[in-house]
Chain A
Amino acid sequence: MEALKQELKSKIIEVLNLEDINIEDVNDDDPLFGDGLGLDSIDALELIVMLDKDYGIKLVDPKEGKDIFQSIETMGAYITANRTK
């Protein structure tokens, strides 16, 4: 799980072009949206694509994302429980 969380931080920074943020800046419980990393709705869609592409998880209902994408911690837990690759 620890390795996955580090992997997620690295991927999110790369995929979402968070140029001025380093892995060390992101805590496991930091909110990804709002005051945390400040991600927006397009970023949320990009995260849904990332779940599908890298972990074989298809989110049928985008509303699910609200709980899954709360933080690195919640993303990691969801991916661990649902990944198909």
Chain B
Amino acid sequence: MANKTYIQSFCTIEENQIKVNGKILFEKEQSLFSDFSKSVYQHFNIDYPKFFKMDNLSKLAFLATELLLEKTENEEQENNTALVFSNKSSSLDTDTKYQSSITDKGSYYPSPAVFVYTLPNICLGEISIRHQLKSENSFFVFAQFNPLFMMNYANILLEKNKATSVLCGWVEYFDEEYKTLLYLVGAEGELEHSEESIKKLYK
């Protein structure tokens, strides 16, 4: 029988508010995501200029990860933290921005800096660079959040010793609408890693 796994910490970002382990750490009055994300960056004293070059999906994933992985930085364990993310809109927000930049034949200047973000799994690369992860990573696109799939996938990675912990969840962004739930799963903890637990965190 497989060993039990646990949710060690979790972070949600939606409607201009950030919670870690259920506690509100930051919130801002109604604002555009660009303003909100910049405020978060400043509030938590993050020093990583490349953040401002990222697309919105990567910024969202980056910020949530920053708050969950900050305390385990430089540990060997962290280098073996797998990333398993999912969402509904893939990279559509950036795809449409790129598309609009190439529709006018009279002003055809495709932006390389925008183009490189026209895949959802780019955010996994950004996080891996930031946290020096050389681990397994996957990005799935579902019509809606799929807790059972995510749980099984994370457990398989842990059972097969492909990772010592798994950062997983939902990172959805399209046209100023966003919602993120990322949670860290490992062999130890108090909150059982079950479909029900994940559903409760996502609500």
* Chain A residues at the B interface, C-beta cutoff of 8 Å: 16-20, 38, 42-43, 45-46, 49, 52-53
Contacts and interface: CB of A to CB of B under 8 A. Distances in A.
B111 interface: yes
B52 A46 contact: no
A34 B49 CA distance: 15
B50 to A, nearest CB: 8
A79 to B, nearest CB: 17
Nearest to A38: B49
B116 A18 contact: no
Pairs A-B, 7 closest by C-beta atoms: A45-B112, A19-B52, A17-B52, A53-B109, A17-B53, A46-B113, A49-B109
Contact of B53 (A16, A45, A49, A53): A16
Interface of B is mostly: helix
A11 to B, nearest CB: 13
B49 A19 contact: yes
Contacts of A38: 49
A53 B109 CA distance: 7
B110 interface: yes
Contacts of B110: 49
A13 to B, nearest CB: 11
Nearest to A49: B109
Contacts of B112: 42, 45-46, 49
B88 to A, nearest CB: 27
Given A17-B52, A19-B38, 6 more contacts: A18-B52, A19-B52, A45-B112, A46-B113, A49-B109, A49-B110
Contacts of A18: 49, 52
Contacts of B111: 46, 49
29 contacts: A16-B53, A16-B113, A17-B52, A17-B53, A17-B113, A18-B49, A18-B52, A19-B38, A19-B49, A19-B52, A20-B49, A20-B52, A38-B49, A42-B53, A42-B112, A42-B113, A42-B116, A43-B113, A45-B112, A46-B111, A46-B112, A46-B113, A49-B109, A49-B110, A49-B111, A49-B112, A52-B109, A53-B107, A53-B109
